[in-house]
Amino acid sequence: MTGGAYLIGLPGTGKTTVGRQLARRLQLPFVDADQVIEARTGCTIREFFVREGEAAFRDLEEAVIDELTQGPPCVLSTGGGAVLRPANRRHLRERGRVFYLRSSPEELARRLRHDRTRPLLQVADPVQRLRELYAQRDPLYRETAHYTIETGRPSVATLVNMIVMQLELGAAAPPVPAAGG
């Protein structure tokens, strides 16, 4: 497989959890773009957001995704907002197989209700914030992804099996052009 498998989706959809198991199954390295950013900045993403702002974070994220998608094949978990930059969407889609792990905002709010590490969800009404993020990002995730995987009910093992099956089927078929481009 050239490029690798790239996971996109809102915070809490399981990109890291599914990604780790998928990497083991495919015998590829697992890379979490947010962890790479934290290692490079020496602080958490939340701290970086507060200190430098979202624009500086997105600049760094774009550079990291560009670099990681040009490297050896891997399973890559991206930050939830990675699709906000057109360059990220293009690099992900052109350089690997992209899986959109999709969950409803309500399901995500339930999963993330005790998580205090996600800067964009530290608001009075996290469910409403997730609905806003979903409305903004869902079309971008769909534009970027080769495949959409619903993460509501299936176990992590089932999700990994679904992705592996798509990769195996996709290897036998030509790539599908991006929607609208």
Separation of alpha carbons 152 and 145, rounded Å: 18
The residue among 60, 82, 62, 74 whose CA lies nearest residue 13 is 82
The residue among 152, 147, 76 whose CA lies nearest residue 111 is 152
> Which amino acid would we find at residue 177?
P
Question: Which residues are known binding-site members for Mg(2+)?
Answer: 16
Separation of alpha carbons 12 and 28, rounded Å: 23
Provide the Cα torsion 95, 69, 129, 158; round to 10°: 70
Question: Which residues are known binding-site members for ATP?
Answer: 12-17, 118
Separation of alpha carbons 178 and 181, rounded Å: 5
Question: Which residues are known binding-site members?
Answer: 12-17, 34, 58, 80, 118, 137
Question: Which residues are known binding-site members for substrate?
Answer: 34, 58, 80, 137
